Structure 1
Amino acid sequence: MIKELAGLKTVCLNETKDAVVILDQTLLPEKEIYVSLFTEQDIWDAIFKLKVRGAPAIGIAAAYGIYICSSKIKTSSFEQFYNEFCRIKVFLSGARPTAVNLVAALDRMERRILLNKEKSVPQIKQELLKEALAIREEDATACRQIGENGLALLRPGMGVLTHCNAGHLAVSEYGTALAPVYLGQERGFGFKVFADETRPLLQGARLTTYELQRAGVDVTLICDNMVSSVMQKGWVQAVLVGCDRIAANGDVANKIGTSGVAVLARYYGIPFYVLGPTSTIDMQCPDGKSIVIEERHPEEVTDMWYNRRMAPEKVKVYNPAFDVTPRELITAIITEKGVW
């Protein structure tokens, strides 16, 4: 891991394992502040308010979170314990509906309970801790392999464009879309990265440029509407983006604006690569039309980041958090298993 990023712990447990500790990403890049989450409401708020974000990181936070909450259930009855666990699971799963990792991690935790239901409640709690730690370690391993598989498709000196933040801050280590960039940085590839600002929440401007600059990567920030211009100039030879859900047919949901980048990449003949762990593949979702797209508060468009409101009062606002890129616009999907 690049040493400049090693100190940034996106999601972890505290020493006493009674709280989830997250780096509050809503305060970046101005402040690096870690927040301890003790209750189910704390964890729900952190996920919904994007204090922790990125599909894999959300899954890890959910796994740690439901372990923390379950460890505080005071009963020796399996039935009572399991019923309370399921209540908390339903509550946490509603924090963000589009990223598949949230529900997938919670489902894994539930399966761990059911596989060990003959054990005592204290033993089951320890099994939940083991499962949560395994989810984190599997993500770290997957991210590095995603990086290796993605780097095999790139050449030294390339110009690379990315959208939103699919780097170290969105996962346990390295990232998904940015994993090849970081491996390339370690090996002297000298990539030149163009980062979309990613309106309205500015994850590209606030987070991607922050972590790339910290790691010493050559990064240039551009507004979302400048993508065509930099592609037209020949400055971009590949697009690398992450994903929040991959449908069974290969359609991909990712941060709003991704599909527009894909259209432009197709027009200019630039490879468009989607990078993510296999945990983001939802084989129960047949295609992109079946993906539930989260819609967020209008204030993120009209008020956030401005000293004063920038739109007329009562104007209608459409604020989807994600869009769907159809498979025919995707050159390849890159996972830890290989390149599809």
Structure 2
Amino acid sequence: MIDETIEEIREMQTHSSSVVAVKATRSLAELTDRDYATVEEFERDLERNVSALKRANPSHASLYNALQDVLRTVLGATDSFEEARELTLDTIDRVVESVEMGKRRAAQNAAGALEDGDTFLTHDYSSTVMEAVELAVADGAELTAYVTEARPRFLGRKFARELAAIDGVEPHLMVDGASGMFLGKCDRVIIGMDCIVDETLYNRVGTFPLAATANRLGVPITVVGSSAKIVDSGFRFENEIRSPSEVMLEPVEGIELENPAYDSTPVELIDQVITDEGVVEF
């Protein structure tokens, strides 16, 4: 399960960073089914697999924080493998619940920012933003959504399809470069986040030009995500450079294909960051 999870994260089959953190944390339970002669042997294997899971996507702060929580709790805390086994399983349950609860509460808080009749623009796919929209609609709001395709993997198409299944939401799907044409119709931009580190928002590539344009046009920008994604120390963001084949299937001589997964946006361009702990000021 751990190897499959690592491959899934690398191939980006799981898009939400919160879902990635949960899958990675739960996969560690596989180690508790193995036989270890000593607790030290188990701890070494735990450290090795945690490192491998982190390397699968070093850009995800929530993944890093969840796995670090397991390590901090388990390493050196018990005297036998059986004790370590029970502690590991209990810790996995606690960490997973914390991640899921943080995401749920962030969505609940963000739902209040979406009022009946609002038109919003979103970029990429955020499961937390999706949940916020669902909660706002359940509370009686009718919304119009402009969704970017989020090339080259077109994650926005998935978002638009899911929005289309919600009564009360009128979705519009557009190419990434068209956001400037439609921002003037929007009451706000609402997006998720991969993480915020040192007052810089790291999110799906295309976020920076979108935020800069919205800022220029006076359209407020709301970022939504768990407070676990806001990191002060101990985590260094590493951008992921995706395969050139996602941009152009056939190799082309004389052209350097650039395909970064994320870009960086100064938080000064953002109006509010809504987390499970409320609105965060920078």
Which TM bucket (shorter chain)? over 0.9
Match of 2:194 among 244, 249, 261: 244
Q: Does 1:256 align with 2:202?
A: no
Moved more, 210-219 or 258-267: 210-219
Moved more, 127-136 or 154-163: 127-136
Query: Match for residue 108 of structure 1?
Result: 69
Task: Report SS of the residue matched to 1:46.
Answer: helix
Q: Is the 8 A contact 1:178 1:240 kept in 2?
A: no
Distance 1:88 1:154 in 2: 41
Q: Compute the displacement of 1:79 (Å).
A: 0.8
What are structure 2's unaligned runs of at least 5 residues?
A: none
- Alignment-mate amino acid for residue 106 of structure 1: L
What are structure 1's unaligned runs of at least 5 residues?
A: 1-37, 168-174, 304-308
Query: Match for residue 40 of structure 2?
Result: 79
1:266-281 paired onto structure 2 within 5 Å: 266-281=215-230
Q: Compute the displacement of 1:285 (Å).
A: 6.6
Q: Does 1:319 align with 2:259?
A: yes
Distance 2:189 2:234 in 1: 25
- Alignment-mate amino acid for residue 126 of structure 1: E
Q: How many residues are aligned here?
A: 279
Distance 2:135 2:173 in 1: 21
- Alignment-mate amino acid for residue 248 of structure 2: T
- Alignment-mate amino acid for residue 99 of structure 2: D
Q: Does 1:211 align with 2:173?
A: no
1 or 2 for the larger relative contact order (CA 8 Å, sep ≥6)? Answer: 2
Match of 2:115 among 151, 155, 158: 155
Distance 1:184 1:146 in 2: 13
Q: CA RMSD in A?
A: 1.9
The structure richer in helix per residue is 2
Q: Compute the displacement of 1:295 (Å).
A: 1.0
% identical equivalent positions = 24
Distance 1:275 1:92 in 2: 25
Q: Compute the displacement of 1:149 (Å).
A: 2.0
Q: Is the 8 A contact 1:143 1:179 kept in 2?
A: no
Query: Match for residue 4 of structure 1?
Result: none
- Alignment-mate amino acid for residue 10 of structure 2: F
Query: Match for residue 85 of structure 2?
Result: 125
Distance 2:61 2:131 in 1: 20
Task: Report SS of the residue matched to 1:53.
Answer: coil
- Alignment-mate amino acid for residue 215 of structure 1: I
Q: Is the 8 A contact 2:70 2:95 kept in 1?
A: no
Q: Compute the displacement of 1:63 (Å).
A: 0.3
Q: Compute the displacement of 1:115 (Å).
A: 6.2
Distance 1:115 1:338 in 2: 35
Q: What's the TM-score once normalised by structure 1's chain length?
A: 0.77
Q: Does 1:50 align with 2:12?
A: yes
Query: Match for residue 302 of structure 1?
Result: 248
Distance 2:166 2:254 in 1: 43
Distance 2:219 2:72 in 1: 42
Deviations along 1:122-171, one digit per CA (max 9) or x if unpaired, are 3322322222222232233223321232233332110011111112xxxx
Q: Does 1:186 align with 2:146?
A: no
Q: What's the TM-score once normalised by structure 2's chain length?
A: 0.92
